[in-house]
Amino acid sequence: MRRFRQFSLALAVAVSLLRWSVIPAAFAETLSADTLSSKQAIPSVTAQPDVEPDIRPYFNNPATDPELSQSAMVKLLQAKIKYVFIIFNENHSFDNEYGTFPGVNGIYSDGLKPRSPFNTPGFYQAYVDGVTGETVTVQPFRIGPEYNSSAIDSADNTHDGVAEKIDVDPATGVARMDKFAYEEYNRFASPAPTKKTEAEGTQYARLVMAHIDCDTIPFFWRWASRFTIFDNVFATQDATSTPNAIAMISGQSGETQWVEHGPNGQIYTVNGVTGTTTGPPIVSGNEPFWGSLFDTSANPMPMSQQDNKGNISGNIACNLTFASLPLTFQGKNVQNVMEQNLNPGFDLPDIQQDIPYIQHLGTKPVNWGWYQEGYDLEASDTNGVASHNFYVTHHNGAQYFGYIANTPPLRPNFHGMTDFFTDMANNSLPQSGVFYIRGGYGNQMGLMPPITNPYTPADEVAAINQAKQGDDDHPQYADRQISEAMAARVINAIASNPKIWAHCAIIIGYDEGDGSYDHVPPRIRSYGPDTLPLSRGVRIPLLLISPYARTHAVSHVEGDHNAIIQTIETIFGLPALASLPDEAQALALGDSAAFNQFGPPGFQQKCLGPRDINSTISSSLLSGFDPKRLTGASRPLPASFAMIPDNVVTSLPHYGGHGCLEIGITPEDIQQGIVANAPPGFNPLPGTYPAGN
């Protein structure tokens, strides 16, 4: 890896000015210095340190919040917020992207004070080298422009893999978070390592411990500094992307259906070939039933060629039939809409009680839309025919539900990415609503990954350019700066419309952690039929942007994708999914000997279904809104506070690779003088560019 050594020499002087070579005395503290009581003493919302001049005019210290009852806050939010936009990104753990962000519970600090590695779960990871027999230790390290850090490879984020990585202690039920490197190494180099598999396993064992900062994702860090970042939100499911895409709108991945009907799929015969769908709960990257070979409806949903593997047995999820937000969005129209479903016996069995209950509540219908790259005809399609080339079918959570995909009045809620910008430009969004925005395998801007290391070999550049043009932040095929450019383009479109910006909340969320290390143990709330932890998964980033958001704040409230659902329900006056009759019934039935047997002795399955009822361990995102702004004591944040100039958005690398300097943030490791360099010979692309292993 000579190119990295040469580049390091070029950067040596600059790096020496930023990173001291001493380990601070705070890291010699004893275990007793980081007690549970001190962690619990941290307020639910704290200010980030070092208020910059551009933020100071808008900064309100959370410690000076006025007294405002929950009901009063809800009324104000319902009056102020009419639009909720969810930019739904892919596959990064919190520590991977924000582990050194100042003021958060990160790798080197609890947000208020430094924390030693010995008090950080999983900081030191170990595995046994299959060739030498020696124990290898890996610990967190930073990668930046010298490693082309916006384009890395994806780790093992499978259900089995993540369960092994978080390593739940069966005696205590607490995840140790200590087998990320172990699992990665051994999935390649075990049981009989070769030189090739050992090298690949070594690189992946390092990759999961790498983290980046504002030099790599300066836009995201800028929004995190100017608005509110949440540092205690987890993936709903201890699983890959698909289950968490489903959970984004339903708060689960099929636990209700499992309780009601068992874990088995269904057998179908298509064109003389028999196959079986995967039953609930969904824990892997199965493609949706709708659009698959099993879908013989007159107007099937789309499926990209990359996702259509032609395997009708084991690759396709069963039809999902439990409640989701698109069901409660129908409000007082729900009965009329569901009567138009094309196959009610197949699509509606688990919402039979929910439909009349929602109808009886008489809530106002909520407009909604799911905009996803490649779903329909895109600007990148040159012949007037939708290619679906950029469409990641298994990321469209709504497509898994028959009562959505197979109900004609609801199909117009599915859109492509170009449709979003067209609707914004034509001012054709409805007067309020909830809108999901997802990227995909490519990008509409025609951007190529930035090559920030000038010594990168030509064949590696070619490999990166071919593999990393996506814009949903998924390491397997996307580039981080292309992804944050897509987010900036979306936010600019929203913020440039005064009527929409004045009444919006923008949530930047993720599905799951991609198998990358995070030190915060998730609270294990359920186990699946395979006896592995089902919920929750690894901690993920979440940002809240709004004219009524707190600025330069960190919320520490605990939650998962249900927190987003709860927030939407609060703003639009919807019932909690967990309160609907069919879901409440499944939650009650799940807490029984028949299902408790899948957990460790004494475990109670109280969460086999949606978890969107507010509690101390499942909070909404309301803490991210500023009471002073809501009451009018402080002015709303201007649209310019969120916008990034278009010429900056499309100029890669962003800020020339010097994002931290440009946005004025000093990462926590630099502040503490911590040197966390990559191991010699590290290759962040062990799969894309194996020649570097």
Residue 681 has pLDDT above 60, yes or no: yes
- Distance from C-alpha of 460 to C-alpha of 306, rounded to nearest angstrom: 23
Closest CA to 486 of 496, 472, 476, 497: 472
Planar angle of CA 196, 197, 203, nearest 5 degrees? 95
First to last CA, the chain: 8
Q: What is the mean pLDDT of residues 141-149?
A: 96
Residue 322 has pLDDT above 50, yes or no: yes
pLDDT range class, residue 193, cuts 50, 70, 90: confident
Within 8 A by CB and 6+ apart from 398, the residues are: 249, 324, 326, 370, 404, 405, 413, 414
What is the model's pTM? 0.92
Backbone angles phi, psi at 493, to 5 degrees: -65, -40
- Distance from C-alpha of 230 to C-alpha of 219, rounded to nearest angstrom: 16
Residue 34 has pLDDT above 70, yes or no: no
Q: Cβ atoms within 10 A of the Cβ of 80, count?
A: 19
Q: Would the CA dihedral through 354, 355, 360, 362 be positive or negative?
A: positive
Q: What are the structure tokens assigned to 217, written together?
A: 């994702």
pLDDT digits (tens, 9 = 90+) for 246-258: 999 999 999 999 9
pLDDT digits (tens, 9 = 90+) for 352-364: 999 999 999 999 9
Q: Cβ atoms within 10 A of the Cβ of 586, count?
A: 24
Give residue for tokens 């570097």: 692
pLDDT at position 22: 28
Q: What is the CATH code for 2-46+74-692?
A: 3.40.720.10
Mean pLDDT is lowest, of 38-52, 73-87, 337-351, 647-661, for: 38-52
Q: Is the peptide bond before 281 cis (omega within 30 degrees of 0)?
A: yes
pLDDT digits (tens, 9 = 90+) for 425-483: 999 999 999 999 999 999 999 999 999 999 999 999 999 999 999 999 999 999 999 99
Contact 194/590 with Cβ under 8 angstroms? no
pLDDT at position 24: 26
% of the chain with per-residue pLDDT over 90? 86
Which residues are paired to 38 by β-bridges? none
Contact 591/584 with Cβ under 8 angstroms? no
Closest CA to 1 of 686, 680, 685, 690: 680
Q: Cβ atoms within 10 A of the Cβ of 327, count?
A: 26
- Distance from C-alpha of 488 to C-alpha of 642, rounded to nearest angstrom: 9
Mean pLDDT of the chain: 91
Q: What is the mean pLDDT of residues 639-655?
A: 96
Q: What are the structure tokens assigned to 343, written together?
A: 């196959």
Within 8 A by CB and 6+ apart from 57, the residues are: none
Contact 396/365 with Cβ under 8 angstroms? no
- Distance from C-alpha of 186 to C-alpha of 541, rounded to nearest angstrom: 28
Mapped onto helix, strand or coil, the DSSP state of residue 438 is strand
Residue 283 has pLDDT above 60, yes or no: yes
Residue 43 has pLDDT above 90, yes or no: no
Contact 451/148 with Cβ under 8 angstroms? yes
- Distance from C-alpha of 220 to C-alpha of 8, rounded to nearest angstrom: 26
**So where are the chain's domains?**
2-46+74-692
pLDDT digits (tens, 9 = 90+) for 516-549: 999 999 999 999 999 999 999 999 999 999 999 9
- Report helix, strand and coil shares of the chain as percent, to nearest 5: 35, 10, 50
Mean pLDDT is lowest, of 314-318, 351-355, 547-551, 564-568, for: 314-318
pLDDT at position 6: 33
pLDDT at position 311: 61
% of the chain with per-residue pLDDT over 70? 93
Which residues are paired to 126 by β-bridges? 137
pLDDT digits (tens, 9 = 90+) for 9-29: 233 223 322 222 222 222 222
Residue 313 has pLDDT above 90, yes or no: no
Residue 176 has pLDDT above 90, yes or no: yes
- Distance from C-alpha of 52 to C-alpha of 552, rounded to nearest angstrom: 9
Residue spans of alpha helices (H) in 379-528: 402-405, 417-425, 458-467, 480-495, 498-501
